[in-house]
Amino acid sequence: MVTTQVAYEAQDWGVGELVLVDGRVVWHELPHPVRTAQVTSCHLELVDRIKAYFAGEDVPLGEVPVDLEYDSEFFSRCAEALRSVPRGEVVTYGELAALAGAPGAARAAGSFCARNRLGLFVPCHRVVAAGDLGSYGSYGVGYKRRLLELEGAL
């Protein structure tokens, strides 16, 4: 098993981190301006794609191999469903629950988003509340809005 941990800097966004195991993303921390991790000086094509995404390019990330094994079958189905939501579109928590095969489980879909460990690869920023943007954990709603604006969803 080969584990690779990479810290990268996305211009105007900050420093983010990736952890890959045998080439599959198992954890992704979105870039944040107050992060202090030292940027890794290795070249990964995936890091180039992430930087291009944050520069505003329409970079496909849905086919990047990721670890979709979660502690519940519902969470795994949420992850799979969310990966199919295209850039520039949003779904509500209730719609995500329905896409994952559990209509009426909007709160559980929200719990999944709050625990998401795969950043852009399972794009929880594309999940909004029925009446507003909803929250975005420690990053805050401003970060979520910025991601959605970058994707042309707002």
DSSP H helices, 1-150, are 45-54, 73-83, 93-99, 106-114, 141-150
DSSP H helices, 58-152, are 73-83, 93-99, 106-114, 141-150
Radius of gyration of the chain (CA): 15
1-7, Cβ contacts within 8 angstroms, sequence gap of 24 or more = 4/42, 4/44, 5/40, 6/40, 6/42, 6/44, 6/47, 7/37, 7/38, 7/39, 7/40
Q: How far apart are CA 62 and CA 85, in angstroms?
A: 9
The one catalytic residue in 42, 78, 113, 124 is: 124
- Residue 124: active-site member: yes
Q: How far apart are CA 89 and CA 8, in angstroms?
A: 27
Q: In a 3-state reduction of DSSP, which class is residue 16?
A: strand
Would you please indicate which residues are annotated as catalytic (active-site) residues?
Answer: 124
